[in-house]
Structure 1
């Protein structure tokens, strides 16, 4: 089972008439739903509110077959993210203080069942405490035995203490086997470097694979061999909400199906296996951007 840990929230998305529609979202949540829809055995660990939005968040997880038994329930409120769209690009304003997810504490981190075979983490859940410290502690406890994929999905406006967050990432990245970074992420981390140079600096910190994504420019995998790339799939873009999250799910699904989503498997991965993973990630993301909101594809939609 691939266990995902990180934020779930409600995206308040403009409907074009001055109103907002509440859609289930959150970077890690989107990846979790996408993995389930792609037919992967998937679990989720994150606090879920007992409010009406918490119930809304549970429904897509259940429909995708995601195991939610590790999710603590709480009376704290669900995080809200109000979305504005500019040229199809999403920007967010978060209402998160004291929310269900943000208040995840170290004592809430459970022992993991033996069925967990890989960890995925990231998003804004890495930024504030106590939840950021809880996720970091989980990864620190489990990374020696489980492969870890990390996607920081950096939102600069959400980061109040940039130095503290950089320090956390500098601790987390060496514990990860796969790190995915967008062009914006790399620019925030290393503003004076070209994207590929920045990605190589991340690789030098210790992960086995660094995935560098660039929207229409496709995706690249930097590792011990020659750089592997896959083009983006051209589609008519409705919006980009959930695109990178779906890409992550496609990559993990491909690696899992190729039976290389393990410490040993990733250490011995081939260029062809990497290319297949990038390609499935790009194909899945293309379907998501072709429709409104974070609505990742089901396995049958990918043929």
Structure 2
């Protein structure tokens, strides 16, 4: 079982006219929890949700899929909202109306891994509660999922992100995030630098070009499968869910953290290929709508 901590919200996605919006359940950590459960890995989501209309939409969507949703204590209770618009390539940009003021996390008893990131590790006062939990003895997975509209300057954000990378065992980051944090740097070279901070595995997603993964022993760049992109909403979260599901199936998340670092080159390729396949299907449909294991077809043969 994997415990995910972070925001759950309503994504209001603009139609081509820019005036009509469709509501989809969203939030990066919530999308990861949903993706894990659809793939067959049990997940607990510690989050902040209200009892309003959007809260009901998001909660029902997650619980119907089998996610164990655990509302976290907070002094306010309205459900957060993100407005999203996509460009001609289906790439989304966001405008957030979000509060993250949680005061405690769910117990981690029974969890093989804690996954977090995105706004949950950025927005105070809740971010300091989450970062404290990242100091657990359990495996920690982290996706910074940078949101420039809610962040300071890259120079201001780099120390926080690097501190949280150092607390993590598995790090997934997009090349867009690295491009914002480290303008002009090669994302593959930055992945190696991040690995030196302490993680056992760093993966950089490269959009249509797939993903690059690096451990202390191996590095590989794997192409993504061809797909017709509807939008990229939730694609990175789907990749994370696929990667964590693969690592869980391989028995690499629980116990000795060095097991992730010692994964073979072929196994690392399979893990990234599987995560790429999960993300590709998500890109082929609207909103954060990750696939079930049955929908992955031949990609299931990549699982350990």
TM over 0.5: yes
CA contact (8 A) 2:142 2:171 kept: yes
* Residues 73-152 of structure 1: pairs in structure 2 closer than 5 A: 76-87=77-88, 88-96=90-98, 99=99, 102-105=100-103, 108-113=104-109, 115-140=110-135, 142=136, 145-152=137-144
Q: Which residue of structure 2 lines up, in the alignment, with residue 47 of structure 1?
A: 48
Q: Which residue of structure 2 lines up, in the alignment, with residue 249 of structure 1?
A: 241
Q: 1:171 aligns with which of 152, 163, 183?
A: 163
Per the alignment, in what secondary structure is the counterpart of residue 251 of structure 2? coil
Q: Which residue of structure 2 lines up, in the alignment, with residue 292 of structure 1?
A: 286
Q: 1:198 aligns with which of 190, 202, 212?
A: 190
Per the alignment, in what secondary structure is the counterpart of residue 49 of structure 1? coil
Q: Which residue of structure 1 lines up, in the alignment, with residue 20 of structure 2?
A: 19
RMSD: 1.7
Kindly provide the CA deviation profile for residues 18-67 of structure 1, in whole angstroms up to 9, marking residues without a partner as x. Answer: 21111100111111101010010111111221112111111122122111
Are 2:9 and 1:9 equivalent residues in the alignment?
A: yes
Q: Which residue of structure 1 lines up, in the alignment, with residue 300 of structure 2?
A: none
Query: How far does residue 265 in structure 1 lie from its aligned partner after superposition?
Result: 2.5
CA contact (8 A) 2:139 2:253 kept: yes
Are 2:267 and 1:269 equivalent residues in the alignment?
A: no
Q: Which residue of structure 1 lines up, in the alignment, with residue 147 of structure 2?
A: 155
Question: How many aligned positions are there?
Answer: 293
Distance 1:22 1:292 in 2: 11
CA contact (8 A) 2:101 2:125 kept: yes
Kindly provide the CA deviation profile for residues 96-135 of structure 1, in whole angstroms up to 9, marking residues without a partner as x. Answer: 2xx3xx1112xx234322x111011111221120111111
Distance 1:110 1:28 in 2: 14
**Alignment gaps of 5+ in structure 2:** 298-304
Distance 1:250 1:301 in 2: 13
CA contact (8 A) 1:47 1:74 kept: no
* Residues 206-217 of structure 1: pairs in structure 2 closer than 5 A: 206-217=198-209
Per the alignment, in what secondary structure is the counterpart of residue 201 of structure 1? helix
Q: Which residue of structure 2 lines up, in the alignment, with residue 232 of structure 1?
A: 224
Distance 1:191 1:40 in 2: 36
Change in CA separation of 1:273 and 1:71 when aligned onto 2, cut-off 3 Å: farther
CA contact (8 A) 1:239 1:290 kept: yes
